[in-house]
């Protein structure tokens, strides 16, 4: 593992480092006297000397670990090396040395296997009740990790009472930070978040699985996996992290494989975020010994692009840029930057639709960033919620996950802790959710992980208000459990599952061959005409997926060379709830008989004047006719059957004439365009329902000759 990636070095942990250096571990600095043990445990003098040498070697490694500025995070390997010898020596003494048990307890505290720390701490106390102040500090840390918060506070206070006034003053902020975490933990556990958290055993191993990134539809997951973890030896030196993918099948994660075309054997590739459509991913890797930068890769058919594409120099600097995420429309990127060993969340906005042209990064509000370290960041698909991990705020210990809301002034609100059981006193980070917001995935080294404290992936299921409509069988299952959940948990008022958006997904085909095609998809704000986003469908499968936050009228254009464009309209009021629309789009060649509906051409009620929201669509149509000057087309207006047929035909004729006039004003030859009003003569759906009548009210475009 590179020394500047993955875990974040926090201010609180530097205080912890200074704490142990100051006390010099009196219990450790006193060499064990092997002479006092039964000589029969040694085979001979050589065995005695080898054991003594092993103990001295372990002590030296231990001192090297606590003397490193990278304590607790990056020098875990040294604590593990020390433990290997300590445990061997301890077994020779039948675990009968209090001092040695205390050393082992201290060492385990700084590894992922913190549960063993408490075991040896208890052994040390059983052997000798007269323990130094440091014992009570580590005991308090263990109690905090096990959520015995009152006991933890008591032991922190015992520690305070046993140290000198000068020592207490020096580390006052450290101790009170931990006590504050315990107080937060008591409140958060008492008021459970309305959620379930389950270990995703399908993908977890004895190694570390970090940063699960889920596509908006919840069908694909990407994560980084520590591929060369050696559990038997307790050693994890220069561990290599690779990016993996998995897909959901019958509610199980299967087809787990490495993205081998850009995973390397000598560098970590740590994923940060998958775009909402699953076609692009962000990750970071080493570019030099002490520098990491953010990279992007695109899915070309079934292959991720190689070489990967490095982000703008306005984002990648001389500092370490690590975890990052897209926002809806990919117009802004949020990322973590490490400046002088302190990590803050930063953002950069795109200068234009070109995703590689970025402005200089700006630090997010101090309401988000703290004097401690912030971790991974994720922006919801509706763009209104930011989830991030932090050791600050009201964390209950380690990294907790927080949520912040974007207000009407585009400012992020004061963050709120997602609460227990999403958060624990361990490290909980790397939040990623599906488009609905009901399901999320995190990484945590909580004590029920598969390998006793390594980072595993967990699924979080949030429970919102009861619904009358269900989007899936899983929703029905959850709803049926709603009453028992209410009895078990006291809901915490954190709104995390109200993503008011529409997911539009499907495949794009050639209308004749039914072969998938790679088409350009552009999303417009019909009110302003602004191009919000553009991307391509997958070249091998034709798949596309996009998220449309509520509160806007969207025009969607699908374009492909030598084909008529396809248009779709989504008018989503602010109060629109989460919805999934799946549709296969058939692209029609530019030839005689091809016909499309112009779904983004609008008129005022009972009038023929064109609304400004129609201009982007009509401009695309005029561009087509100006490019293909030999084609002749008919613009046809259609109505429902409400009102007299004579009136409907007259209105539809005026509307088609108005569209023709717009095109001619744009330079189209009037001989290319014929306009015709059909009234209600050619319905495409039943007029017995409002939905059917809405479909019948339309403007069509048909090629008469080419």
> Domains in the chain and their CATH numbers?
195-488 (2.120.10.30), 500-589 (2.60.40.2190), 598-706 (3.30.1330.60)
pLDDT the model gives residue 222: 93
Check pLDDT > 90 for residue 43: no
Q: Which of 218-232, 288-302, 363-377, 539-553 has the lowest mean pLDDT?
A: 218-232
Question: CA-CA distance, 24 to 167, in Å (whole number)?
Answer: 12
Summarize the confidence of residues 332-338 as an average pLDDT.
Answer: 84
Q: Which of 165-174, 226-235, 632-641 has the lowest mean pLDDT?
A: 226-235
- Model-level pTM? 0.81
Contacts of 428 (CB under 8 A, 6+ apart): 389, 398, 399, 400, 401, 422, 442, 443, 444, 446
Span 572-604, pLDDT tens digits: 888 888 888 899 999 999 999 999 999 999 998
Question: CA-CA distance, 47 to 64, in Å (whole number)?
Answer: 26
Instruction: Answer with the residue of higher pLDDT: 51 or 515.
Output: 515
Q: What confidence category does residue 497 fall into, taking pLDDT thresholds of 50, 70 and 90?
A: low
Q: What confidence category does residue 46 fall into, taking pLDDT thresholds of 50, 70 and 90?
A: confident
Check pLDDT > 60 for residue 254: yes
In the DSSP assignment, the letter for residue 162 is: H
pLDDT the model gives residue 258: 85
- Closest by CA to 567, choosing from 618, 639, 628, is 618
pLDDT the model gives residue 301: 87
Check pLDDT > 50 for residue 239: yes
Summarize the confidence of residues 90-94 as an average pLDDT.
Answer: 73
pLDDT the model gives residue 475: 38
Q: What confidence category does residue 59 fall into, taking pLDDT thresholds of 50, 70 and 90?
A: confident
Q: What confidence category does residue 606 fall into, taking pLDDT thresholds of 50, 70 and 90?
A: confident
Summarize the confidence of residues 59-84 as an average pLDDT.
Answer: 67
pLDDT the model gives residue 234: 38
pLDDT the model gives residue 283: 87
Summarize the confidence of residues 616-627 as an average pLDDT.
Answer: 93
pLDDT the model gives residue 625: 94
Q: In what order do the strands lie in the sheet with 501-510?
A: 543-549, 501-510, 579-587
In the DSSP assignment, the letter for residue 341 is: T
Helix axes 98-109, 115-127, angle to 10 degrees: 160
Span 167-210, pLDDT tens digits: 788 778 888 999 999 999 999 999 888 899 999 999 998 788 88
Check pLDDT > 50 for residue 480: no
Instruction: Answer with the residue of higher pLDDT: 273 or 495.
Output: 273
pLDDT the model gives residue 19: 52
Length of the chain: 706
Q: Which of 53-57, 469-473, 501-505 has the lowest mean pLDDT?
A: 469-473
Half-sphere exposure of 242 (CA within 13 A, CB side): 16
Summarize the confidence of residues 248-275 as an average pLDDT.
Answer: 81
Contacts of 208 (CB under 8 A, 6+ apart): 225, 226, 229, 239, 241, 454, 455
Half-sphere exposure of 144 (CA within 13 A, CB side): 29
Question: CA-CA distance, 179 to 638, in Å (whole number)?
Answer: 71
Span 133-157, pLDDT tens digits: 888 988 999 899 889 999 999 999 9
Summarize the confidence of residues 594-622 as an average pLDDT.
Answer: 91
Span 655-701, pLDDT tens digits: 999 999 999 999 999 999 999 999 999 999 999 999 889 889 999 99
Summarize the confidence of residues 623-651 as an average pLDDT.
Answer: 93
Is residue 699 within 8 Å of 635, Cβ to Cβ?
A: yes
- Nearest 5 degrees, angle CA 670-CA 676-CA 678? 170
Check pLDDT > 50 for residue 21: no
Summarize the confidence of residues 620-627 as an average pLDDT.
Answer: 94
Mean pLDDT of the chain: 81
pLDDT the model gives residue 490: 34
């Amino acid at each position: 593992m590179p020394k500047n990636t993955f875990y974040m070095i926090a201010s609180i942990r530097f205080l912890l480092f200074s704490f142990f250096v100051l006390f010099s571990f009196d219990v450790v600095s006193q060499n064990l006297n092997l002479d006092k043990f039964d000589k029969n445990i040694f085979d001979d003098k050589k065995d005695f000397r080898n054991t003594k040498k092993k103990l001295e070697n372990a002590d030296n490694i231990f001192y090297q670990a606590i003397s490193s500025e990278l304590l607790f995070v990056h020098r875990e390997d040294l604590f593990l090396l020390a433990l290997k010898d300590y445990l061997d020596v301890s077994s020779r003494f039948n675990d009968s040395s209090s001092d040695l048990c205390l050393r082992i307890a201290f060492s385990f505290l700084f590894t992922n296997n913190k549960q063993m720390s408490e075991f040896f701490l208890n052994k040390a106390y059983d052997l000798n009740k007269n323990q130094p102040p440091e014992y009570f500090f580590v005991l308090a840390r263990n109690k905090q990790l096990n959520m015995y918060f009152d006991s933890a506070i008591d032991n922190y206070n015992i520690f305070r009472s046993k140290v000198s006034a000068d020592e207490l003053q020096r580390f006052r902020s450290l101790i009170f930070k931990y006590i504050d975490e315990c107080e937060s933990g008591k409140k958060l556990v008492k008021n459970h978040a309305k959620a379930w958290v389950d270990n995703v055993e399908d993908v977890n191993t004895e190694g570390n699985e970090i940063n699960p990134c889920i596509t908006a539809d919840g069908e694909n997951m990407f994560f980084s996996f520590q591929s060369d973890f050696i559990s038997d030896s307790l050693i994890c030196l220069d561990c290599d992290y690779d990016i993996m993918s998995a897909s959901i099948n019958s509610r199980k994660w299967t087809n787990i494989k490495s993205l081998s075309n850009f995973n390397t054997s000598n560098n970590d590739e740590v994923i940060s975020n998958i775009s909402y459509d699953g076609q692009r991913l962000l990750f970071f890797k080493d570019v030099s010994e002490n520098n990491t930068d953010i990279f992007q890769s695109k899915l070309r058919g079934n292959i991720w692009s190689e070489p990967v594409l490095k982000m703008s120099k306005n984002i990648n600097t001389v500092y370490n840029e690590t975890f990052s995420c897209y926002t809806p429309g990919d117009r802004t990127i949020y990322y973590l930057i490490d400046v002088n060993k302190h990590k803050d969340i930063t953002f950069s906005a795109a200068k234009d639709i070109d995703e590689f042209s970025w402005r200089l990064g700006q630090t997010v509000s101090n309401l988000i960033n703290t004097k401690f370290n912030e971790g991974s960041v994720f922006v919801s698909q509706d763009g209104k919620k930011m989830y991030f991990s932090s050791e600050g705020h009201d964390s209950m210990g380690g990294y907790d996950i927080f949520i912040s809301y974007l207000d009407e002034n585009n400012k992020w609100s004061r963050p709120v802790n997602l609460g227990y059981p999403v958060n624990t006193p361990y490290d909980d980070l790397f939040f990623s959710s599906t488009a609905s917001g009901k399901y999320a995935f995190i990484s945590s080294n909580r004590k029920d992980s598969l390998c006793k404290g390594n980072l595993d992936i967990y699924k979080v299921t949030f429970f919102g208000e009861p619904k009358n409509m269900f989007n899936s069988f899983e929703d029905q299952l959850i709803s049926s459990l709603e009453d028992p959940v209410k009895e078990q948990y006291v809901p915490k008022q954190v709104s995390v599952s109200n993503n008011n958006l529409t997911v539009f997904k499907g495949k794009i085909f050639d209308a004749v061959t039914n072969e998938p095609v790679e088409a350009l998809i552009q999303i417009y704000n019909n009110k302003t005409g602004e191009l919000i986003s553009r991307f391509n469908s997958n070249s091998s499968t034709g798949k596309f997926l996009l998220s449309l936050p509520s509160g806007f009228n969207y025009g969607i254009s699908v374009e492909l060379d030598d084909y008529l464009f396809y248009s779709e309209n989504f008018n989503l009021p602010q109060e629109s709830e989460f919805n999934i629309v799946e549709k296969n789009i058939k692209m029609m060649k530019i030839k005689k008989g091809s016909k499309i509906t112009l779904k983004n051409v609008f008129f005022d009620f009972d009038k023929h004047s064109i609304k400004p929201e129609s201009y982007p669509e009509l401009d695309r149509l005029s561009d087509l006719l100006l490019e293909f000057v030999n084609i002749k087309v008919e613009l046809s207006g259609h109505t429902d059957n409400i009102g007299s047929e004579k009136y409907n035909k007259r209105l539809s004729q005026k509307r088609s004439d108005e569209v023709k006039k717009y095109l001619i004003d744009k330079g189209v030859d009037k001989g290319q365009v014929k306009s015709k009003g059909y009234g209600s003569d050619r319905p495409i759906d039943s007029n017995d329902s409002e939905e059917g009548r809405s479909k019948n009210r339309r403007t069509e475009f048909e090629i008469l000759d080419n």
